[in-house]
Structure 1
């Protein structure tokens, strides 16, 4: 699977061009599934109007509204209650997964419960994450970002990439997300860690990592 891990969606031309290159065809010819599940676990963004804004493409974070051939909704909390043949082929045939922000551990829990986590490594689709949707791919998120607590505790996530992510660096609405805070967070992580702002994305194909940025970011090595 190919990953484009963003802080706040496809916010600039560099990220947009990278996404088109990863799809290997125009966005207008590509089918998407959006996953809003992470939003329900975070008190700031769900449930309610912001979940609708993401799904309908009316949010401030360009993902669903990029001009896809089609967009469907894949709600992970519903999947354990329906037969796999109702959704697995749909996921296998889609061109891109658009995964919202919210709570990374809540998203991780439902990715595992639904069976999507087991399916992800075999997919040919491009995975586009936003904030928590990006963080969930890491080995863990760090205590700084623990909100919703999984039944077993801890901060472990899916480990589909070998680095962790501190999103929304220096965001004006998140005064705690400073570079100094990112440095303290990174000091507690066991592997490589990136702090990225909303103009930055991390592209991963077959384990090869490339930063795509029109903003600022920093790699913290262990």
Structure 2
């Protein structure tokens, strides 16, 4: 799998260059599918105008508006009600999945319910996550980020990478996302973790992670101590 796990989209040249490197060709030659599902589970971003802004590429976090050859919408909550032959070929043929922020547990639930979670490891598409769209790839998100509660409870996510993520580090609009909060969160995660700001992303190729940043980030060892 090829992943670009961002806090806030393609915010700078370094992250943009990492995306192009993962794609292996210019953005203008790539077909994209955007996934807004996580937004509907979070009271700050959906449903409504912000979901439309993401899909239309009119928000402040660059993802959909990068100049793709084409952009389609893949709404995960709809997939269980239609046959796999209607959507699986589309996903297999696309170059990139653009996955919005919102609520990571809500997104995880619908990734599993839709069947996309099972499909992801076999895809050739590059997976680009933003905030919750990135966090969902971790084994867990931690109690700090629990909002929507899944039917079975808990805060476990897909585990397609072996580390957890604390996005929006020291963001001026998120006063609780402080470095001290990140350290407390990391101490309870029982595994490797990253705290990243909006100028940072994590590039993952076949499980090997590399930080791409023009901002601030911290790696935490499994015992919660910063490296």
State the distance in 2 between where 1:165 and 1:90 align: 29
Give 1:158's aligned residue.
Answer: 158
State the distance in 1 between where 2:98 and 2:165 align: 17
Give 2:5's aligned residue.
Answer: 5
Residue by residue over 1:77-135, the C-alpha shift from the partner in whole angstroms, topping out at 9 and shown as x without a partner, is 00000010000000000000000000000000000000000000000110000000000
Question: Are positions 1:102 and 2:102 aligned together?
Answer: yes
Instruction: Supply the RMSD in Å over aligned alpha carbons.
Output: 0.3
State the distance in 1 between where 2:147 and 2:18 align: 32
Query: Which secondary structure state, in structure 2, belongs to the residue aligned with residue 118 of structure 1?
Result: helix
> 1:184: Cα distance to partner?
0.2
Give 2:201's aligned residue.
Answer: 201
Query: Which secondary structure state, in structure 1, belongs to the residue aligned with residue 4 of structure 2?
Result: strand
Question: Are positions 1:70 and 2:73 aligned together?
Answer: no
State the distance in 2 between where 1:185 and 1:18 align: 28
State the distance in 2 between where 1:138 and 1:18 align: 20
Q: How does 1:111-130 map to 2 (within 5 A)?
A: 111-130=111-130
State the distance in 2 between where 1:134 and 1:206 align: 16
Q: How does 1:130-149 map to 2 (within 5 A)?
A: 130-149=130-149
State the distance in 2 between where 1:22 and 1:210 align: 12
Q: How does 1:27-38 map to 2 (within 5 A)?
A: 27-38=27-38
Query: Which secondary structure state, in structure 1, belongs to the residue aligned with residue 174 of structure 2?
Result: coil
State the distance in 1 between where 2:18 and 2:186 align: 27
Q: How does 1:202-221 map to 2 (within 5 A)?
A: 202-221=202-221
Query: Which secondary structure state, in structure 1, belongs to the residue aligned with residue 128 of structure 2?
Result: strand
> 1:190: Cα distance to partner?
1.1
With the length of structure 1 as denominator, give the TM-score of the two structures: 1.00
Query: Which secondary structure state, in structure 1, belongs to the residue aligned with residue 218 of structure 2?
Result: strand
Give 1:79's aligned residue.
Answer: 79
Query: Which secondary structure state, in structure 1, belongs to the residue aligned with residue 51 of structure 2?
Result: helix
Give 1:181's aligned residue.
Answer: 181
State the distance in 2 between where 1:17 and 1:131 align: 19
> 1:21: Cα distance to partner?
0.7
Give 1:89's aligned residue.
Answer: 89
With the length of structure 2 as denominator, give the TM-score of the two structures: 0.97
Query: Which secondary structure state, in structure 1, belongs to the residue aligned with residue 46 of structure 2?
Result: coil
State the distance in 2 between where 1:207 and 1:42 align: 29
